[in-house]
Structure 1
């Protein structure tokens, strides 16, 4: 349905909207649309910043847990093998 609307159709719609609502109403409406778009962009940016900081905190916590676990583990492999056991 909307694929058949060309440039003349869009111009006709714009003229009808201007006649019905007036220039002042349409310009204030467009200003509100612009403010809404800016608020949306800012919200998306803040949300992505929150996600990035949460991911960094989680990574830091996992690294601390790995360090604690590594401190608790100790090496039990013998460094020197007695020579008596090598002989059969």
Structure 2
């Protein structure tokens, strides 16, 4: 078994184009390109300096401090008798 010649690849390409059509192949190519670009961007973001925070401090989530009424003890027996 030898390697495939250029004629073998042209026949395979012709069959693929006949089965899927040029429009579907174009859409698949653009989807694949978008996926590769997204992967590269993700790898670039992942290799950032680990000491720097991922979220800027201005948009960081602020913890809610409960009010004084939330800290009062709850009498469970009173609530269940009502």
TM range (shorter): 0.5 to 0.7
Q: Greater helix share, 1 or 2?
A: 1
Mark the runs of 5 or more structure 1 residues left unpaired by the alignment.
58-88
| Structure 1 segments (4+ residues) deviating >2 Å | none
CA RMSD of aligned residues (A): 1.6
**Paired position in structure 1 for 2:17:** 18
Q: Shift in Å at residue 45 of structure 1?
A: 0.3
Which of the two has higher C-alpha Rg?
Answer: 1
Using the size of structure 2 for normalisation, the TM-score is 0.56
**Paired position in structure 2 for 1:37:** 36
**Paired position in structure 1 for 2:8:** 9
Mark the runs of 5 or more structure 2 residues left unpaired by the alignment.
52-82
